[in-house]
Amino acid sequence: MHGRRHFTHRICKRGHLKRACISYKGELTSLYEYIPRMRKSNPEEAQENIANGVSSQRTYNILVSLSGHLFDKFLINEALDMIEAAGGSFHLAKCKLGQSADAESYSELEVGADDKRVLDQIIDSLTRLANPDEDYISPPREANKISLKIGKVQQEKEVKEKPEMTKKSGVLIIGAGRVCRPAAEFLASVRTISSQQWYKTYFGAESEEQRDVRVIVASMYLKDAKKTIEGIPDVEAVQLDVSDSENLLKYVSEVDVVLSLLPASCHAVVAKTCIEMKKHLVTASYVDDETSMLHEKAKTSGITILGEMGLDPGIDHMMAMKMINEAHIRKGKVKSFTSYCGGLPSPAAANNPLAYKFSWSPAGAIRAGRNPAKYKSNGDVVNVDGENLYDSATSFRVPNLPAFALECLPNRNSLVYGEFYGIESEATTIFRGTLRYEGFSMIMATLSKLGFFDNEANQVLSTGKKITFGALLSNILKKDADNDSEPLAGEEEISKRIIKLGHTKETATKAAKTIVFLGFNEEREIPSLCKSVFDATCYLMEEKLAYSGDEQDMVLLHHEVEVEFPESKRVEKHSTTLLEFGDNKNGQTTTAMAKTVGIPAAIGALLLIEDKIKTRGVLRPLEPEVYLPALDILQAYGIKLIEKTE
């Protein structure tokens, strides 16, 4: 045994015998490394690919034929080295070995590369190997040349493609406002995210299947639709007036789901068209009486009209139902349900006396602040008149986020949510509130009492004469009635005037600071469109309380549920919190409000596309078939919920 090892050692070390040594110490010698490299290439697979015109490896492919003393002169090593060193790959398509010292061998290789320049470099190197000249440094070959034949370069897109396992669907988004862009981005990205594991988990997709969604964004003005989708690949912009029934029918017929982001008053006409065309509909608005009346027609048509699929309403419903149903499954009784939601400036952007900004017209927000409210507290029903809503605000802190100094205002009728959530008979407290930074309500209440929100035609503004904001301020604060010659030029003078009208020094000081910040004391002309003090106030608020270029908004949604377990008498407190900020990417600002309204609505459309929602008719996201996958997808997409139990 020792003698054989010594003999092998002598062969593999002697120059004239070295080339005959195939392996040494259990490993192939360098001259024979081509053997495993060629074994890894499946000739049958490569031959089949070539016959079908398909490469299984690279974008650019070419068939190369080599003949000569490829193996006994080890020229194949050089050829394979050139291919791999350049960044290419090869598949052995055919191989015939010469059976004598004089016979030549023949090989066909499918050579591939993802860059055409790389493939050109490989072809050039192989050509110079077959046709050496003085510029090519290589050992003298004498008769050891190879013959080279090169086929036609094939690009993957030009050859027969493998059939794609792709499910194709269409969504029509009507309305190209701020909320539209996040919805369009989400739906346009479905083809990409459908290959991700979380998508397959939620929708049960096969590994090779992909969902491809055609997204059409429609607006009354084509330029608005185009601006909204700018930078989003594979999204189409069209002009559509929903009052044009023929055009509406045309676009609805081309898709599977319609997502209406229009004002709530426009949903009914879209819904009726969807019923006629048997297409599902999703909205982010409250389900009003007119839409509710379409329930039976929608069921008969076999479609789902999914409303209230935004933030509030929307995510608030889904978070609540998940918490409440989990409590009921464990035989618990919900004793208290409280919900708080607010669209706010981020702390850095809350840089004005109100610590508040508007991302659209302030008129709606101001009117909402004067709506009456009703809620249940420890078994008692509490009614709040709209005129006193700001005065009813209370200080509030989110336990998980103690740094936020907030206050809470009751939000309309909370009792109907007890009915929606199935807790009206068990919960002694049911409350839904709107969040603002602390101090907001005191200032707004003072401005309201002073008359800044009066919507009746103002006598001074109705004269048709040009009037300045400063003059209107004097009229509002009744300066002329006292024959006071002191101008209301600054905070101090305005504050004194407000105190004279019966307000405290603290409220007067804060209100005066806000009035000056808005520019109500300036001697500039009021636009003729302002017919009331409310109009003038909204005009200044829209001007002075708007977000600047890179400022962020913020959405904060917080639920608290107190659950009692009758058998054990144990009480648990559950909370879920959503905190989301707006972002600015590639010069494109997306608000937190737009994301948290648009993305849930788009998720609703996706659930209908994937046939995960089986219920037909008009519904809210109160059923597990909607809220369970929707909340999971929301978090997988990056909008996180913080859950806590005590």
* Residues assigned a catalytic role: 312
Where is 598: in which H helix or E strand? helix 592-609
Distance CA 78, CA 105 (A): 15
* Burial class (CB within 10 angstroms; exposed 0-12, middle 13-18, buried 19+) of 484: middle
Which neighbouring-strand residues pair with 617? Answer: 304
Helix (H) or strand (E) holding 559: strand 553-565
Type of residue numbered 404: F
Rounded-to-10 torsion of CA 492, 497, 502, 506? -10
Nearest-5° Cα angle at 177, 175 to 179: 100
Whether residue 331 contacts residue 564, with contact meaning beta carbons closer than 8 Å, is answered with no
Q: Could you give phi then psi for residue 603, rounded to 5 degrees?
A: -65, -40
Following DSSP, what letter does each residue of 247-262 receive, concatenated? HHHHHHHT-SEEEE-S
210 neighbors 254 (Cβ within 8 angstroms): no
**78-to-43, 74, 126, 131, 153 alpha-carbon distances in Å:** 20, 7, 9, 14, 22
CB-CB contact of 148 with 158 (8 Å): no
CA atoms in the 13 A half-sphere facing the CB of 146: 27
DSSP secondary structure string for all residues of 329-394: HTT-EEEEEEEEEEEEE-GGG--STT---BSS-HHHHHHHTT--EEEEETTEEEEE-GGGTGGG-E
Q: How many CA atoms lie within 13 A of 525 on its CB side?
A: 6
Residue 346 burial (C-beta neighbours within 10 Å; 0-12, 13-18, 19+): middle
**Count of positions (residues) in the chain:** 646
The helix or strand, by DSSP H or E, that contains position 269, with its residue range, turns out to be helix 267-277
Largest CA distance in the chain: 127
Q: How far, in whole angstroms, is CA 202 from its chain's centroid?
A: 17
Contact 449, 370 (CB under 8 A): no
- C-alpha span between 486 and 537 (Å, rounded): 23
Contact 537, 531 (CB under 8 A): no
In this structure, what are the phi and psi dihedrals at residue 58, rounded to the nearest 5 degrees? -125, 170
From start to end of 428-471, where are the E strands? Answer: 429-437
Q: What CA–CA distance (Å, rounded) separates 538 from 26?
A: 87
Helix (H, G, I), strand (E, B) or coil at 568: coil
Query: Over 36-55, what HEC string results?
Result: HHHHCCCHHHHHHHHHHCCC
